[in-house]
Amino acid sequence: MSNSFGKIFRITTFGESHGAGIGVVIDGCPAGIAWDEAFIQHQLDRRKPGQSAITTQRKESDIVEVWSGVFEGYTTGTPIMLLLRNENAKSSDYEHLRNLYRPSHADYTYHAKYGRRDHRGGGRSSARETAARVASGAVAQLLLRKYDIQFLTWVDSIGSAFYVPEYFTEFTSEDIENNEVRCPHPETAERMIAYIKEVRKQGDTVGGTIKSIIRNVPAGWGEPVFDKLHAQLGKAMLSINACKGFEYGSGFAGAKMRGLDHNDLFYRDNDGKIATYTNYSGGIQGGISNGQEIYFRCAFKPVATLQQKQETVDKAGNPITFIGKGRHDPCVLPRAVPIVEAMSALVLADFALRASAK
């Protein structure tokens, strides 16, 4: 069923958008990790619905409940179970979807695979499942604290008009969280917010890109061939709802360069460490971290539910016209930032444990 992710630090998520709740079981987390429930809740608050005028107005507190694996402020080494109860599900909003397939949703494919589907908000295919990832990703970040690994993730474009210039890189996580769209460039953020509101008024949606930088990852994390570090990061990001693309390092721009310009030349820095003058490799070479900053970009498509008439078919294949209902984001990018960060942490926590096991 592919509900699990990771090899040593392994998570299994469960639950549906309109069920009793969603949650995650974390296996492989070492004993003795200092528990910081306030940090976990903070990460969930960054993802939760209803947090601003440009997100879905579904109201969920997403208060984390710790059912196992933690005692007297530390992890015990046994499975950790985290639960988030659904409080504001309105299943009746989706009754009109019982017998039709929404364009660009998982309705048809789930029915083709399983012979049945949960039409209430998409059931298991709903992005609500990502809250469990954020909760477990926060636990992964607790494990990574001893390495002082730092995550910087932000929205760098919405649609095609509002793009943060590449040179703008001197900012902090506080700058990112300083506005509801999570873009660290104030003027660009204002334009993004205005654009999302305009699109929402038209009953439409818009996509964009998220960029992430990960600092202080030690050299030597990752595996050759099939479990390359960038391959696992790509798998993690592309498993997120609405993510349609992933590139790391120079990415597609590197295809336009020549080798002499693209190669990252090595040198020994003032601390005696091996470093590179440039970082077109994105901190990963041969699938293994080289100690430089890891950076990548993810592309997210527009939300598929529109408040406009669309043509589709019902279960019998008959043509039908419908208008999307329910509470949906006009743009997923602001709430996807903590999800991208969480998935990055899950990948790195797993590789940290793999490296320590050798």
What pLDDT shows up at residue 308?
84
Q: How high is the pLDDT of residue 324?
A: 75
Instruction: List Cβ neighbours of 207 (8 Å cut-off, separation of 6 or more).
Output: 158, 159, 242, 244, 299, 300, 301, 302, 331, 332, 333
Report the pLDDT value the prediction gives residue 319, as an integer from 0 to 100: 92
Q: Strands 21-27 and 80-85, how do they pair?
A: antiparallel
207 neighbors 331 (Cβ within 8 angstroms):
yes
Residue ranges and CATH numbers for the domains of the chain are: 4-356 (3.60.150.10)
As a whole number, mean pLDDT of residues 51-55 equals: 74
Structure tokens at 135: 């909760």
Average pLDDT of the segment spanning 208-221: 97
- At residue 54, the pLDDT reads 80
CA atoms within 13 A on the CB side of 356: 15
pLDDT value, residue 226: 94
pLDDT at 160 exceeding the cut of 60: yes
Joined tokens for residue 336: 């996807």
Question: Tokens representing 271?
Answer: 């601390």
Residue 167: pLDDT above 60? Answer: no
Residue 122's pLDDT band (boundaries 50, 70, 90)? confident
Q: Which residues contact 12 (CB under 8 A, 6 or more apart)?
A: 3, 4, 24, 25, 27
- In this predicted structure, what is the pLDDT of residue 165? 64
For residue 199, give every residue at least 6 positions away whose Cβ sits within 8 Å of its Cβ, in sequence order, or none.
159, 205, 206, 330, 331
Would you say residue 169 has pLDDT above 70? Answer: no
* pLDDT(92) > 70: no
Cα separations in angstroms, 212 against 45, 48, 341, 342: 19, 20, 8, 11
Residue 294, pLDDT > 90, answer: yes
Decide if pLDDT at 123 tops 90.
no
SS3 77: coil
Residue 170 has pLDDT above 70, yes or no: yes
Which of 45-59, 111-125, 271-285, 312-326 shows the lowest mean pLDDT across its residues? 45-59
Please say whether the beta carbons of 47 and 63 come within 8 A: no
The length of the chain in residues reads 358
Q: What order of strands is seen across the sheet that includes strand 319-323?
A: 100-101, 309-314, 319-323
* Higher-pLDDT residue of 165, 337: 337
**Which of 268-282, 295-309, 315-329, 343-357 has the lowest average pLDDT?**
315-329
For the stretch 179-207, pLDDT in tens is 999 999 988 999 999 999 999 999 999 99
Predicted local confidence at residue 1, as pLDDT: 66
Torsion of CA 340, 344, 349, 350, to 10 degrees: 110
Mean pLDDT, the chain, rounded, equals: 91
